């Protein structure tokens, strides 16, 4: 009970000063929570599978939590149908929305009228049929990438190259952090629930935090220059897992990395 009260207080303290108001300059930022006071757009666009009608869903203020995706609006739109995510809107102001227009490749936010959640907060669910949302942001060093997610299958990849052949970040069953081949940036093997903060300065300077830990880094390879997918697949393995937030800064954020990691954990209560 004490932990829950502390969690509520931490969330309430950030309602007037949201994440992107404190940490500026993001290239893209998608989340189930509102990240920027000036952002007045929707959180996501969903498709109702009973008739394929689509609807933009905005944020709703929830006491003790703050502004999060309006699950009640999704349920009111779908009733007992399922809701698939067509577009996850970029809150950075750069219009780098994560989009998947192919119905068979869309992730879910609602299953037969019941919302997916992770740690008592809404989550987007990816399974072997709904594995990919794409955007067109180039991943070039230096950058800082933040993510809140949960793996369910042995591998749940976070960022892949634009061909979906290789993962830039993948979650597996162990706790090492490594690069695999010359075509891969790196992958991190983690616990099920994850708060990840990667600050890639150059090929010899990579700082990683996951769940407050600094994992061992080996075999780091050169940064790639092509665009990336978010929640793509790794070497043909499809994803099963939950996603709640992904933010990319196309700059060195080493001085803010630890504080940003803490901010994410304070809200999502992962570790």
Mean pLDDT by runs of 10 across the 271 residues of the chain is 53 70 94 97 98 98 96 98 95 90 90 96 79 61 83 58 49 40 45 72 70 65 52 55 88 92 94 86
The model's pLDDT over 31-51, given as tens digits with 9 standing for 90+, comes to 999 999 999 999 999 999 999
What is this structure's pTM? 0.84
For residue 72, the SS3 value is helix
Using an 8 Å Cβ cutoff, are 230 and 167 in contact? no
**CA distance linking residue 70 with residue 67, whole number of Å:** 8
Q: How far apart are CA 187 and CA 171, in angstroms?
A: 7
Q: Give the dihedral of Cα atoms 52, 53, 57, 63; nearest 10 deg.
A: -80
Task: Output the pLDDT for position 190.
Answer: 52
What distance in Å separates the CA atoms of residue 3 and residue 149, rounded to the nearest whole number? 21
Nearest to 171 by CA among 239, 223, 116: 239
Q: Give residue 238's pLDDT.
A: 55
Other Cβ atoms within 10 Å of 41 Cβ, number: 15
User: What pLDDT was estimated at residue 208?
Assistant: 74
């Amino acid at each position: 009970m004490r932990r829950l009260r502390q969690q509520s207080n931490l969330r309430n303290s950030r309602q007037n000063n949201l994440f992107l108001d404190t940490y500026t300059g993001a290239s893209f930022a998608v989340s189930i929570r509102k990240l920027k006071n000036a952002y007045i757009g929707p959180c996501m666009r969903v498709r109702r599978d009973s008739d394929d009608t689509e609807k933009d869903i905005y944020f709703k203020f929830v006491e003790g939590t703050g502004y999060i995706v309006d699950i009640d609006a999704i349920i009111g739109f779908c009733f007992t149908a399922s809701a698939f995510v067509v577009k996850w809107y970029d809150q950075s102001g750069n219009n780098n929305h994560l989009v998947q227009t192919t119905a068979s490749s869309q992730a879910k936010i609602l299953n037969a009228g019941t919302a997916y959640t992770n740690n008592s907060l809404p989550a987007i669910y990816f399974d072997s049929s709904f594995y990919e949302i794409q955007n067109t942001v180039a991943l070039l060093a230096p950058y800082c990438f933040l993510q809140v997610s949960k793996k369910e299958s042995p591998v749940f990849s976070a960022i892949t190259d634009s061909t979906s052949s290789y993962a830039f970040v993948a979650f597996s069953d162990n706790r090492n952090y490594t690069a695999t081949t010359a075509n891969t940036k790196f992958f991190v093997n983690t616990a099920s629930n994850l708060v990840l903060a990667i600050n890639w300065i150059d090929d010899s300077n990579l700082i990683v935090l996951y769940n407050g830990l600094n994992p061992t880094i080996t075999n780091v390879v050169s940064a790639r220059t092509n665009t990336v997918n978010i929640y793509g697949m790794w070497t043909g393995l499809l994803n099963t897992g939950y996603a709640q937030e992904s933010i990319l800064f196309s700059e060195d954020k080493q001085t803010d990395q630890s504080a940003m990691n803490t901010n994410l954990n304070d809200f999502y209560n992962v570790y």
